Amino acid sequence: MSKKIKKVKEEKEQVYHKPMIRRRKPNRSIAGDVALFIFLAIVAVIMVFPIVYAVNAALKPLDELFMFPPRVFAKNPTLNNFADLFVTMGKSWVTFSRYLFNTVFITAAGTAGHLFVASMGAFVLAKYDFPGGQAFFKLVTVAMMFTGYVTQIPNYMIINKLGWVDTYWAIIIPAFASPMGLFLMKQFMEGLPTALIEAARIDGAGEWMVFSKIVMPNVKPAWMTLIIFSVQGLWNNRASTFIYSEERKTLVFALQQIQAGGIARTGQGAAVLVVVMIVPILIFVFSESQILETMASSGLKD
Amino acid sequence: MADAVKEMKTKDEIMAAKIAAAKNGNYFQKYTVLRRHNLSVAWKKMKLNKNCYLFLAPYAIIFTMFFVFPVVASIYFSFTYYNILEPPRFIGLNNYMSLLLEDDIFLIGIKNTLIIAIITGPLGYIMSFLFAWLINELPRWVRSVAVVVFYAPSIAGNCYVIFSVFFRGDAYGYVNAFLMNTGLTDNPIFFFTDPRWMLPICMLVILWMSLGTGFLSFVAGLQGVDASQFEAGYMDGIKNRWQELWYITLPNMKPMLMFGAVMAITQAFGVCDVTMQLCGYPSTDYAARTIVTHLFDYGFSRFEMGYACAIATILFLMMILCNKAIQSLLRRVGT
C-alpha cells in the first residue's frame, strides 16, 4: 500500500521535472528503434563517404594521392593543392582566380536579383487579391514541373536577339525568375499575419514601405532558402551553351578542364572539386533551421 | 479604399436588379449581363490594386520571357525546319514523324530516360520520405546533423564526378580492385564504357543525389504535424509506427508529398549531367543517351533547332502528363 502511494507521489513529482530525454512514444518497440537507428547510421556513412573522400583527396600530398592501397583519410594533410591552383594556373592564359571571380560574380548578382524580384512578386501574390494573380501563380507552379532543359533552345534564341550571348547577363537575368523561389516565398509570406500589414497601412505606409520595412524583415528565413536554392543553381552552372570566351567561363567548366588534364592534375582537380562543392554545403549548414522553417510551408495544395 | 468597396456593393445591387430583370429574357442575355458584371468587378479590382501589377511586373516580365514564351516558341518551332541561318520553314509533323519512326538513337534516349525515371524517380522519392521520417524521430541535434549528411550530396553539385574515381575502368579503380582481389572478376570491368554497366552505375549515382528539395520539404513538414493527433491515435489503438504512418502522418503530409513528387519527376526526367560527365558525350553505343542529351546534340552541335524543339516538346509533354498522373494518384493517399 505504502509503495503504491510512494509511486503515485513520484509520478506527481515527475511532472515538475523536465525529463532529460524526451519520453518515448508508447507505440514504438525498442528493437525497432535500434534497428532503424543502425540502418540510418549505415546509410548516412554511405551518403557522406564520397564527400569525405573528395575533401581528403584535396588535402593529400602528391605521394599519398597515388599510394596503393589507397587510404580514405590523408596522413599528412597539406593545402598545397589549393596553393597550386593559384600558382600553376596563375601563369596560364586565363587564371584560376578569373574563373573563381566569374562564378562568384554570377552567383552573387543572380542571387541578389532573384531574391529582390521574386520577393516583390511573391508579396503581392500572397497578400493581395487582384485579377490574374491566382492564374499567374498557377502558371509558376506549372513551370516548376518541367526542367530548364525544355526551354534551352528558345532561350538561346532570345538571348541571342538581346545580344547577351557571351556575357554574364545570359546566366544572371534568367536566374531572377526561377519559379521555385517565387513559390517558396509566396507560401511563406501567406503565413504572415495580414493584420500586421493592415496596421502599417493605417499608419500611413505605402505599398513600398510595407514591403521593405514590414514584410521583408519578417520573412528572413525565406531569404536564406531562396539564397541557397539560387546559389546551388548558379554556383554549379556550367554556362557552356551561352558563354564562349574562355575568360568568362565558370568554375565548373574549369573543373572539367582540369580533370581532363589527366593524372598530373589529380591533386588540383580534387582541390577545385572541394571549392565547387563546399560553398553550397556551408551555406546550408549555417542556415539549416531557417530553411526548414520555410520548407514547412512548401506544400502544394490543389 | 472603403469608398470603393461601398461603391462596388451598390453596383452589386444594381446588377442584381438587372439580372432579375433579365430573368424573363433568354439564357444568352443573362450570360452577357453576368459576364459584363464580372468584368466590371475585375476592372474595379485591377484599378484598386494598380500597385500590385507594378510589384509583380519585374518578375512577370522575366518569367514570361524565359519560361512561358520559350515553351510556346518551342512548340511552334517543332513544326518547322529551322537551322538559325535560314528562316524557319513550316514542315508540319515531319519532325515528330522522323523522331519516332526513323531516329533510332532518340528511341534509345527515350528508353534510357524512361528506365532512369521509372527506377530512380519513385525510389528516390520513397527514400526521401523514408529517411525524412526516420530522421524525424531522432533527438534535435542529431537530427540537424543527419539532415546535413543526407542533403549534402544533392547540393554538393559536381561532387558526383568523384564516382569516376571509385568506378575507374582499370585495375586501379577501387571497385575494380576490390572485385579482383575477392576473385569476383578476373578482368577489370569498364564501368563507364561498357554499355551493360553504364546505366546501373549512373542510376546509383543519381540515387545517391536524390535526397534533394523534396527531402527538405518532408523533413520540415513532418515537424509540423500536430502532436495531439498522434496522442489521439494512441487512444484509438494505433499499434505500431507503420499504422501511424499510414493513418496519421501521410494524410497530414499530402501537400508536401505533392511538392516532393513534382521535384522528383522534374529531376528524374531531366537526367543528363550525370550521364554526360560520367559516361562521356557521346557515350559508347549511345548507351547512356537520354532525351536531354539528344536535345543538346541536335540543338547545340548540329543546330537543327526545329528538330531539337520537337524533342523538347515531347519531353515537356511527358513531364506535365506524368506530373498530372502522379498528383491524381497522390490525392488518394491515406483514404
Q: A110 pLDDT band (50/70/90 cuts)?
A: very high
Chain B residue whose CA is closest to A236: B157
* Domain assignment of residue B95, yes or no: no
pLDDT band for A123, please (50, 70, 90 cuts): very high
Per the model's pLDDT, the better-predicted residue between B148 and A3 turns out to be B148
Closest CA to B295 of B308, B307, B276, B283: B308
In this predicted structure, what is the pLDDT of residue A1? 46
Partner residue facing A151 (CB), from B53, B58, B66: B66
The mean pLDDT of chain A is 83
Contact A173 B62 (CB under 8 A): yes
Residue B124 domain flag: yes
Flag whether pLDDT at B142 surpasses 80: yes
pLDDT confidence bin for B131, thresholds 50/70/90? very high
Q: Is the model more confident about B61 or about A81?
A: B61
Q: Please check the confidence at residue A5 and state whether its pLDDT lies above 70.
A: no
State how far the Cα of B259 lies from the Cα of A184, in Å rounded to an integer. 11
Nearest to B155 among A25, A130, A284 (CB): A284
Q: What is the pLDDT of residue B155?
A: 87
Q: Which residues pair with A22 in a beta bridge?
A: none
Q: Which of B169-178, B190-199, B267-276 shows the lowest mean pLDDT across its residues?
A: B169-178
Same domain flag for B23 and B140: no
SS3 state at B89: strand
Question: Could you give the CA distance from residue B256 to residue B136 in angstroms, rounded to a whole number?
Answer: 15
Alpha carbons A118 and B322: distance in angstroms, whole number: 27
- Pick from A27, A117, A177: CB nearest B238: A27
Assess whether B70 and B185 both reside in one domain: no
What's the Cα-to-Cα distance from B146 to each of A222, A275, B162, B215, rounded to whole Å? 22, 23, 22, 12
> Does B107 share its domain with B46?
no
Residues B277 and B312 in one domain: yes
- Identify the residue with better confidence: A118 or B244: A118
A186: pLDDT strictly greater than 50 = yes
Judgement on whether residues B130 and B86 belong to the same structural domain of the protein: no
Torsion angle, CA of A71/A75/A78/A84, rounded to 10 degrees? -30
Place of cell 534535435: B140
**Structural domain of residue B287, as residue ranges?**
102-330
pLDDT digits (tens, 9 = 90+) for B48-58: 888 888 999 99
Q: How far apart are CA A124 and CA A186, in angstroms?
A: 9
CATH of residue B165: 1.10.3720.10
Mean pLDDT, residues B288-302 taken together: 88
pLDDT band of A135, cuts 50, 70, 90:
very high
- In order, the DSSP letters of B178-241 are HHHHTTS-SS---TTTSHHHHHHHHHHHHHHT--SHHHHHHHHHHHTS-HHHHHHHHHTT--SH
- Closest CA in chain B for residue A302: B255
Instruction: Give the angle subtended at the CA of A292 by the CAs of A290 and A293, to the nearest 5°.
Output: 65
Distance CA A99, CA A108 (A): 14
With a cut of 90, say whether residue B246 has pLDDT above it. Answer: no
Domain shared by B40 and B183, yes or no: no
Most confident of A23-27, B25-29, B258-262: B258-262
Domain boundaries defined on chain A = 27-78, 96-295
pLDDT of B61 above 90: yes
Is residue B246 domain-shared with residue B132, that is, in the same domain? yes
CB contact under 8 A, A50 and B299: no
Residue B96 lies in a domain: no
Q: Is the pLDDT of residue B3 over 60?
A: no
CA distance A170 to A179: 17
In whole angstroms, what is the distance from residue A287 CA to residue A225 CA? 8
Q: Residue B95: its chain A contacts at CB < 8 A?
A: none
Cα distance between residue A216 and residue A223, in whole Å: 9
Is B107 found in the same domain as B19? no
Reference A69, options B242, B173, B58; nearest CA is B173
Select from B117, B265, B212 the least CA-distant residue to A144.
B265
Beta-bridge partner residues of B81: B89
Cα separations in angstroms, B16 against A30, B22, B26, B41: 67, 10, 16, 13
Q: B111 pLDDT band (50/70/90 cuts)? A: very high
For residue B309, give the chain A residue with the closest CA.
A153
Q: Residue B124: is its pLDDT beyond 90?
A: yes
pLDDT at A104: 92
Q: How confident is the model at residue A299 (pLDDT cuts 50, 70, 90)?
A: confident
How many domains are contained in chain B? 2
State whether the Cα torsion B211-B213-B215-B219 is positive or negative. positive
* Contact assignment for A128 to B52 by CB distance below 8 Å: yes
Task: Identify which has the larger pLDDT, B96 or B331.
Answer: B96
User: Which residue among A50, A124, A256 places its CB closest to the CB of B163?
Assistant: A50
pLDDT of residue A7: 55
pLDDT band at residue A12 under the 50/70/90 scheme: low
Q: Which pLDDT score is estimated for B22?
A: 61
- Looking at residue B27, its pLDDT comes to 75
Asked if B118 is an interface residue toward chain A (Cβ–Cβ < 8 A), one would say: no
Q: Does residue B335 register a pLDDT over 70?
A: no
- pLDDT of A122 higher than 50: yes
Chain B touched by A288 (CB under 8 Å): yes
Nearest-by-CA chain B residue for A160: B84
Contact at 8 Å (CB) between B264 and B128? Answer: yes
Grid cell 514541373 is found at A145
pLDDT cut 70: percent of chain A above it: 88
Distance CA B268, CA B260 (A): 12
- Each residue's pLDDT tens digit, A241-294: 788 888 888 888 888 888 777 777 778 888 888 888 888 899 999 988 888 888
Q: Are residues B53 and B179 in the same domain?
A: no
Residue B81 in domain? yes
- B78 with B125, same domain: the answer is no
Q: How many CA atoms lie within 13 A of B27 on its CB side?
A: 0
With residues binned 3-state (H G I as helix, E B as strand, rest as coil), the percentages for chain B, rounded to 5, are 75, 0, 20
Q: Which three cell numbers stand for residue A59?
A: 588535402
> Given a cut of 70, is residue A18 above it in pLDDT?
no
Alpha-carbon separation of residue B204 from A101, A281, B147, B217, B274 (angstroms): 33, 21, 20, 23, 10
Of the candidates A239, A119, A121, the one whose C-alpha atom is nearest the C-alpha of residue A169 is A239
Sign of the dihedral defined by the CA atoms of residues B276, B280, B283, B284, in that order: negative
Strands (E), chain B: 80-81, 89-90
Q: Which of B62, B90, B118 is the last residue of a domain?
A: B90
Average pLDDT over residues A132-155: 88
User: Right CATH number for A96-295 from 3.30.230.10, 1.10.3720.10, 1.20.120.1200, 3.30.720.110?
Assistant: 1.10.3720.10
| Residues B1/B7/B10/B15 CA torsion (nearest 10 deg) | -110
Across the range A93-109, mean pLDDT stands at 87
pLDDT band at B9 (very low <50, low <70, confident <90, very high): low
pLDDT at A65 over 80: no
